[in-house]
Amino acid sequence: MNSICVFLGSSIGNHPAYMEAADAMGRELAARGLTCVYGGSCTGLMNQLANSALAAGGKVLGVTVQALKDKENFHQGLTKLYVLPTMHERKNLMVQLSDGFVALPGGIGTFEEFFEVYTLGQMGFHAKPCGLLDVNGFYAPLELMLDTADKEGFLKNPYQQSIIRTEDPAEMLDLLQKATENKASQLLKQKAFQ
């Protein structure tokens, strides 16, 4: 793994654990030499993530669209800021730039971005691991919904086998790395039998 895309809120949320997790994730990415890919904002958890990664000597790539750049403030200290014409192109570039995906707490945009990359993985468009950083039990209701969808026959693959879940940023990166290595090993075995 060389880079991780992090989806997270442009607000700080109502619990200090969210900012602490964004800070820890940024520092951990930098410490491991992993490039941080995110939405480019300079507000909320997004700003904390970028600032902590940059302060620790890491690379941070922001990816946004022109319509947002025209009306919002974006981080001025990024390694690189990509500005694309459409949300579709933006999300496509985020997938291309990243070797794995993590969602920290956030709102509708965070959910939408995470579920798009998760769905693309389930459909075979990529084999990159996806994880939920369950800070302060934030994603427990979502796991309940996924359990319900699974029990009611709406998931082809059990999400427990496809989504990594932990509340610790360092453990999340360890698990993403392990999942990447396991996937590479499986692909090598498949090729050996062809």
pTM of the entire predicted model: 0.93
What lies within 8 Å, CB to CB, of 88 at 6+ separation is: none
Q: pLDDT (tens digit, 9 = 90+) per residue, 80-118?
A: 999 999 999 999 999 999 999 999 999 999 999 999 999
- Provide the strand spans (E) within 23-169: 35-38, 60-65, 80-84, 101-103, 130-133, 163-166
> What fold is seen in the domain 3-192?
Rossmann fold (3.40.50)
Tokens at 111, concatenated: 């959910």
Q: What average pLDDT does this structure show over 27-55?
A: 97
The mean pLDDT of 48-60, rounded to a whole number, is 98
Write down the domain spans for the chain. 3-192
Phi-psi domain of 29 (left: phi exceeds 0; alpha: psi -120 through 50; beta: other): alpha
Instruction: Measure the CA–CA gap between 25 and 56, rounded to whole angstroms.
Output: 11
Mean pLDDT of the chain: 92
The yes-or-no verdict on residue 135 having pLDDT over 90 is yes
Q: Do residues 4 and 100 lie in contact, with contact meaning Cβ atoms separated by under 8 Å?
A: yes
Report the sign of the C-alpha dihedral through residues 132, 118, 96, 43, in that order: negative
**pLDDT > 90 in the chain, percent:** 80
Question: How would residue 185 be classed by pLDDT, with cut points 50, 70 and 90?
Answer: low
Q: What pLDDT shows up at residue 193?
A: 46
Identify the three-state secondary structure at position 162. Answer: coil
CA-CA-CA-CA torsion sign (97, 111, 90, 187): positive
- Other CB atoms closer than 10 Å to residue 66's CB: what's the count? 12
Secondary element (H or E) of residue 114? helix 108-122
| DSSP tag of 137 | G
CA distance 194 to 86: 40
